Amino acid sequence: MRFAIIAPPHPTALWKKNFEEIVPHVPLLIGHETDQPEDVVCAMVWKQPFGSLKKFTNLKLIFAMGAGVDHVLSDEQIPKNIPICRVIDPQMAFSMSNYIIMAVLNHHRSFYEFEKAQRNSHWAQFEFEERELKIGVLGIGHLGMDCAIKLHQLGFSVVGYSPSPKQTPFPSFSGANFDAFLQDINVLICTVPYTKHTHALLNNKLFQKLNRPTYLINVSRGKVHVEEDILSALDAGVLSGAFLDVFEVEPLPKESPLWLHPKVHLTPHIASLTYPKESIYQMLHCFDQMEKGLPIPQLVDRQKMY
């Protein structure tokens, strides 16, 4: 019985270290190359080479090393009928929410304007008022819900949107009321998973339905937005600014106009990192439940893609 980590070098090193500390007696394969593929019962994966899981004939569990599973499921050769679990971690929600709150507060308190004034040794007292925000959280799953509740508790006006109705301590929209949600806000926070329904969702057509101007924060996946449309919406004053952690192509190409756009703030997909120690405990719990024939937590619905 062997577990495998199939991922890029950085997460592999972190997960290997933690795995070996937590379960030193369990044999671990790094990467997918092996003479004994039949030994592998559980694969922890992130951006795995397509088709690489096919050879593990005794695989019982696939564990996605992150919250989003689009990278894992884009492998069409991924074995069918094997449960896939993903990370659902309060610590991830903590860092994601703090990141989003930072972006909201910087905008709310005109931080960038004051920063610019500072660079000019200019005392900008009374020049920028607190912005009145009506915050919309698009996608109120585990991560979106956490940040929406925290923003609501900070006293902001918050509304949420999810395809199916959710119990929320703030007003929320669902189903066909998407346009009503968009028309109710001036900050749009996107935390949706990447699926065939959310592909290129943040596009010009959607931006045209927003109040002018609206501030955009995207921490979900780059392919959920259309960068060309964000740039034209910024230039036309439809969007007042954009705070982006994810991009259509990552790393963001050097020639992207987003880097130097005065209304864009960006970070290199770090809004919420996975905490390997907690995630490995989760993976072991999922595996244990599966072995005992008990309900497996954190199961991914392959159709829904989350």
Contacts with ligand GLV by CB under 6 A lie at: 66-68, 274
Closest CB to ligand GLV: residue number:
66
Q: Are 60 and 1 in contact (CB under 8 A)?
A: no
3-class DSSP assignment, residue 150? helix
Residue 212 or 304 having the CB closest to ligand GLV? 304
Residue 89 or 227 having the CB closest to ligand GLV? 89
Closest CB 177 distance from ligand GLV, rounded Å: 27
Plot region of 121 (φ>0 → left; ψ -120 to 50 → alpha; else → beta): left
- For the chain, the straight-line distance linking the first and the last C-alpha, in angstroms and rounded, comes to 28
Verify whether residue 86 is a known catalytic residue: no
* Separation of alpha carbons 269 and 25, rounded Å: 34
- Residue whose structure tokens are 């593929």: 37
Please name the amino acid found at residue 25.
H
Q: Are 209 and 234 in contact (CB under 8 A)?
A: no
The length of the chain in residues reads: 306
Closest CB 89 distance from ligand GLV, rounded Å: 9
Verify whether residue 221 is a known catalytic residue: yes
The total of other beta-carbon atoms located within 10 Å of residue 132's CB is 9
What are the strands of the beta sheet with 239-244, ordered from one edge? 172-174, 157-162, 134-138, 187-190, 214-218, 239-244, 264-266
Closest CB 63 distance from ligand GLV, rounded Å: 12
Closest CB 202 distance from ligand GLV, rounded Å: 17
Residue 29 or 73 having the CB closest to ligand GLV? 73
Decide the pairing of beta strands 264-266 and 187-190: unpaired
Closest CB 67 distance from ligand GLV, rounded Å: 4
Residue in 109, 269, 285, 302 annotated catalytic: 269
3-class DSSP assignment, residue 110? coil
Half-sphere exposure at residue 145, Cβ-oriented, CA atoms within 13 angstroms: 12
If you ran DSSP here, which 8-state letter would residue 208 be given? T
- The tokens for 152 are 């609501």
Residue 97 or 274 having the CB closest to ligand GLV? 274
Residue in 221, 261, 265, 285 annotated catalytic: 221
3-class DSSP assignment, residue 42? strand
Residue 40 or 67 having the CB closest to ligand GLV? 67
Residue 224 or 231 having the CB closest to ligand GLV? 224
Please name the amino acid found at residue 111.
F
- The tokens for 87 are 């990370």
Closest CB 289 distance from ligand GLV, rounded Å: 21
Catalytic residues: 221, 269
